[in-house]
Chains A and B, each alone.
Chain A
Amino acid sequence: MGRFMLRRFVNYLALVIIAASLTYALAAISLNPRANFEGRNPKPSAASVTATLNEYNLNPDTPLLVRFGHWAGGVAHGDLGRTVTGGQVNDEFGRRVGVSTRLLLISTLLGSMGGVMVGAWGAIRQYRASDRISTLASFGVLAMPVFVIAVTLKLWAIDLNDAVGHKVIEYTGEYDPGLSGTGEILLSRLQHLLLPSLTLIVIQIALYSRYQRSSMLDVLGSDFLRTARAKGLSRKAALMKHGLRTAVLPVVPLLVYNVVLLFTGATFTEKIFGWHGMGEWLVNSISTNDVNATAAVGLFTAVVVLIAGLLSDLLYAALDPRVRMS
């Protein structure tokens, strides 16, 4: 087991290094940081722009390999380089991971638990009205791009606020900077958290319930459930204790995988609701030609995929005694 995980880890690590290098190379070739300075008013002189670009290791005229060497050397020492505006990518990175975590914590918890519950419930009541409705609803949600869900929720919130005549639901940013007092700040944060969380929760419930439903259906006809019933357990107890536990097994690794991937997958949610997290950074850094920031996001995503893969492997082995990895 230990050796297996180690081999797995080394393999993933190689992939991460290559993926991150490729991302840096693509970003360095494709994005043009010089354009950012030329758009400024008053327009800086060409020489000073070149000097600044050189200082930030962003000059497109420097050979790619040289730039890559600088960047990789920095990354090896834990320095992700400078942004287009001269800030440290590291600082921005830390801030944004924090924002993303605050956004994702509650919503993934509620979303994954809700998804498992809805899926199991649908399977137990297969083809009844409630199952049909929840299946149809999850189809509906999965047929919607995230930005459609997010913008629709935002428009509804605006309508609601107008109807009430008071800003009940907030839809931009993480908090109101003008507030003081713990209670008020907490309330404001909750108000701001509601819509982006709802977006993420709805999507996750729809997705996980599909998997949970089909895995629960497989379990429902199994012998061990019949045995449990024959032992005298009530249907509910048998389903809860033996059915759900077995059925959730195959869904857990997938769940972990998706949860971890949400860190950059929440791009639309963050962007539309104005949360300055990793997902928003991805879009912003590309549209502002910020090569080092883009590379940082690429590196982060690759590492996150690595962690997700390892974690789901480990969790599966821990949960399912039938799995022997050697």
Chain B
Amino acid sequence: MAVQTPSVQPTASSTAVTTRPAPRRRSRTRLTAIRFARNRTALFGLLMLILLFLMAYVAPLLYKWSYTDLDFNAFQQPPSASHWFGTDQTGSDLFAMTARGMQKSLVIGLLTGVICTVLAAAVGASAGYFGGWTDRGLMWIVDLLLVMPNFLIIAVLSPLFQGTTWLVFVVLLAAFSWMITGRVVRSMTLTLKDREFVKAAKYMGVPAPVIIFRHILPSMASMLIIDGTIQVGTAIIGETSLSYFGFGVQAPDVSLGTVIATGTPAAPSFPWLFYFPAGCLVLICLSIAFIGDGLRDALDPNSSRAKARKNRKSQEGPTS
């Protein structure tokens, strides 16, 4: 198999990995932060996500109604000062329900994103580093999982996990969404494997797991971080989609998917039952997408946006 090796080796990054002096690392983090902060969409996304987190976790503490409360004086009421997002046919407060659903969706998304990225990194790097039968075996599993449609498998398995914790659901979601990243990590490992700093460590007798976790994976940290953010968004969409059909988070528990699903049938006459929770869901995913995009620009050493923006300014002058 022909392995593509980039003809131009970025020397800066390889020295950063081998010597890795503390001040340089800090300066790289700072550089990333500065570039991130210059990106207005990304900052907006971050701000929005923080506000959504506050809405999910802090607002319910100060709010009059809890998600289990029923207000028998207000059935199907439109949004008002007492019920910010209105109520549904049983008198549940929609704001409290939405906040509760957001808590669950955010936690599931973040956990799945982290687990999925770690899994992809571990499997992909091992396959690439060890090669041979390890590689073949692991890639065969990747292919198999790609052929088995994850939506169908998780949905089929859902009856087995009815009445258990939602953590099972996190595990299932993560187990079926790491494969593509795993492949990317594998091919990046193949190019890194022959680099001097990895070879040096190998001949010095550093054990393989240490090489993988100390030398190979840090070199692709930016890719993993970006991919992690994307995975969080994907996981939230996956979770809500499955829950919408009742295959995900189950009844006593609340997720954004179940809140939206229960609101949908009545939505033509009582639109707030759909628009508010769906709007919150879209805002979460949108803010994560903005952050991911900003991180990509900030972490990518030859990102074109900073340069392009400067060019544009010099050519056309400050417009916008």
List the interface of chain A (C-beta within 8 A of B): 15-16, 18-19, 22-23, 26-27, 29-32, 126-127, 139-140, 142-148, 151-152, 155, 158, 217, 264, 267-268, 271, 282-283, 286-287, 294, 297-298, 301-302, 305-306
Contacts and interface: CB of A to CB of B under 8 A. Distances in A.
A301 B152 CA distance: 9
Contacts, number: 110
Contact of A19 (B147, B155, B264, B285): B147
Contact of B146 (A23, A29, A305): A305
B244 A147 contact: yes
B164 to A, nearest CB: 13
Contact of A286 (B240, B247, B304): B247
Contact of B159 (A32, A145, A146, A217): A32
Chain B, interface size category, equals 35 or more
Interface centre among A143, A287, A302 (most CB of B within 10 A): A143
Contacts of A146: 241
B175 interface: no
A144 B290 CA distance: 14
Contact of A287 (B157, B246, B282, B309): B246
B160 A145 contact: no
A145 B268 contact: no
A31 B264 CA distance: 27
A67 B77 CA distance: 52
Interface centre among A27, A32, A151, A302 (most CB of B within 10 A): A151
Given A126-B308, A140-B286, A298 B152 contact: yes
B147 A305 contact: yes
A127 B308 contact: yes
Contacts of B148: 19, 22-23, 298, 302
A15 B282 contact: no
Contacts of B309: 127
A148 B260 contact: yes
B155 A283 contact: yes
Contacts of A305: 146-147, 149
A256 to B, nearest CB: 16
B281 A145 contact: yes
A126 B151 CA distance: 36
A148 B55 CA distance: 21
Interface in B260-278: 260, 264, 267-268, 271, 274, 278
B221 to A, nearest CB: 22
A317 to B, nearest CB: 16
A144 B153 contact: no
